[in-house]
Structure 1
Amino acid sequence: MSSSLKDPVQPPPHEPPRGLNGRRAQAARNDHSILAAARTVFLQSPQAPVAAVAKEAGVGISALYRRYPGKEQLLQKLCADGLRTFISIAEQYSDGQPDPFTALKDFVRGIVDADVHALTVKLAGTFTPTPELGELSVRADLLMKSIFQRAFDGGMLRADADANDVPMIFEQLTAIRLLDEARTVALRHRYLDLIMDGMRSNPTFGTLSAPAPSGMELGERWAVPQSA
């Protein structure tokens, strides 16, 4: 991370609040356990039942349902938390410091290290987005594109690079997932270096063989399949 950050990355939204006692403290611990378990379970299989989440969390199914009426609400919560983390990280690089290219690279690294994009992509099309999620998504997209555009306008990126390449870079990097967490991080950073070097402006680069994905292509995965 760059030393130019205005504020440190906020704690993960699944961190239980401190200073609570009694039932409220237990409820907060249960909620933390449920969300952490849901992330683990749904990364492996978005189609998994909520019973698998309760088992992973070590709580009764009734405790889960007291907090989340159904799987739909649980998925919506996970996605909203992921978008808020994305926005928190993006806001730290929105002024383009220390230079636009480094800001873009550090932003991408921050999102990959937070590992929020992998889950949101897994969940795409498995639940109905809420208006709140729509607003968070728009905010996240605007921040991402502004960080990209500063680097592009500064002549630091190849002419055929596109802001819509960035979400696909997130997908490629977060697909790297080994049993060794430290090695996973190291390999993600290795390929981040390779990919970002390929994004740099270089007069010897040829033209890319295909255009960047369109906004419609990126968004079509969020359409919930209609029952026949």
Structure 2
Amino acid sequence: METKKRAPRGREAEAARNDRTILDAARTVFIRDPEAPISAVAEEAGVGVGALYRRYSGKEELLRTLCEDGLHRFIAIAESAPARHDDPWEAFETFVREVIDSDVHSLTVHLAGTFAPTPELRSLAVQASTLAALILDRAKTSGAVRADVDANDLPMIFDQITAIRLGDADRTAALRRRYLTPLLDALRADTPTRPLPGPPPSDEEVGARWRHTGSSPSLRKRPRR
């Protein structure tokens, strides 16, 4: 007999909601300003600073958790897009569009290098990159995507589109979709194009953004009691 998972109740459900509220607030604050103090996250979340320190030892742990959450979202999109679309191009386009719409890649752009990645984070990053490469390779093998597109081109494409950021979230999303459309058209194999000049980014060039440059100057330590 299959055992049903018990739904979280009472304090468990409240704790889960608080965790999500804090992570959503941290995402908003640190995408806007990676140097912001952890107190800005508490203010955005509408909780006391003490509530943050009960969950996280400091800003660096919060950044790692936020990044881990983003990688899990990226992986979920990369796993579900091919499962929902038999057509390789539709799977590829859905994957790219949903990564942009979810804004998970902005974490890479804004948080890379601000904390020391853990082995678990590195493992998730490898899994995310592998899944993205599989989606692209399937689309290329089918003849849907031009042959000179490399897996390391994808994070650079995400960088370009997520650099579009206005104060209004709806307008930001609309403009990102606007400029992503001709970019996707240029990746199709059936679109007349010139060869891409130069080689794609190397693994070292893509990975260099995650090189830890030291603690953020605004890192706050747990207050001594």
- Scaled to the shorter chain, the TM-score interval is 0.7 to 0.9
Partner of 1:156: 144
Equivalent of 1:78 in 66, 74, 77? 66
CA change 1:43–1:154 in 2 (3 A) is: same
Name the CA distance, whole Å, in 2 between partners of 1:175 and 1:121: 8
Name the CA distance, whole Å, in 2 between partners of 1:221 and 1:182: 28
Gapped regions of structure 1 (runs ≥ 5): 1-17
Per-residue Cα deviation, 1:125-146 (whole angstroms, up to 9, x for no partner): 0001111111111111110000
Would the aligned equivalents of 1:165 and 1:212 in 2 still touch at CA under 8 Å? yes
Asked if the contact 1:96–1:147 (Cα under 8 Å) also holds between the matched residues in 2, the reply is no
Matched residues in 2 for 1:127 and 1:108: separation?
Answer: 26
Structure 2, gaps ≥5 residues long = 1-6, 216-225
**Structure 2 residue 202 is matched with structure 1 residue 214:** yes
Question: Shift in Å at residue 179 of structure 1?
Answer: 2.7
1:184 alignment counterpart: 172
**Are 1:20 and 2:9 counterparts?**
yes
Identity of aligned residues (%): 55
Cα displacement (A) at 1:25: 4.5
CA contact (8 A) 1:125 1:221 kept: yes
Where relative contact order (Cα < 8 A, 6+ residues apart) is larger, the structure is 2
Alpha carbons 1:176, 1:184 under 8 Å: kept: yes
The reply to whether residue 137 of structure 1 matches residue 132 of structure 2 is no
Report the Cα distance in structure 1 between the residues aligned to 2:169 and 2:138, rounded to whole angstroms: 33
Give the aligned length: 209
Give me the whole-angstrom Cα distance separating, in 2, the residues matched to 1:121 and 1:223. Answer: 12
What is residue 114 of structure 1 aligned with on the other side?
Answer: 102
- Closer, same or farther: CA 122–111 of 1 in aligned 2, 3 Å: same
The answer to whether the 8 A contact 2:78-2:95 is kept is yes
Preserved contact between residue 115 and residue 214 of structure 2 (Cα < 8 Å): no
Q: Which region of structure 1 is more displaced relative to structure 2, 51-60 or 71-80?
A: 51-60
Aligned to 2:29: 41
Q: State the distance in 2 between where 1:75 and 1:180 align.
A: 24
Decide whether the 8 Å contact of 1:94 with 1:143 is kept in 2: no
Q: Which one-letter code corresponds to 1:207 in the other structure?
A: P
Task: Give the counterpart letter for 2:45 in structure 1.
Answer: A
Alpha-carbon displacement from aligned partner over 1:62-117 (angstroms, at most 9, x marks no partner): 11000001111101110111000111111012358331112111100011111111
Distance of 2:140 and 2:60 partners within structure 1: 39
Residue in structure 1 matched with residue 185 of structure 2 by the alignment: 197
Letter in 1 for 2:159: E
Q: Deviations over 1:151-208 (max 9, x none)?
A: 1111222232111111111111112222332222222112121111111114742222
Q: Which piece of structure 1 moves more, 93-102 or 67-76?
A: 93-102
TM-score, structure 2 as length reference? 0.85
TM-score, with structure 1 as normaliser: 0.84
User: Distance between the aligned counterparts of 1:25 and 1:159, measured in 2?
Assistant: 48
Amino acid at match of 2:50: S
Most deviating of 124-133 and 149-158: 149-158
Letter in 2 for 1:124: A
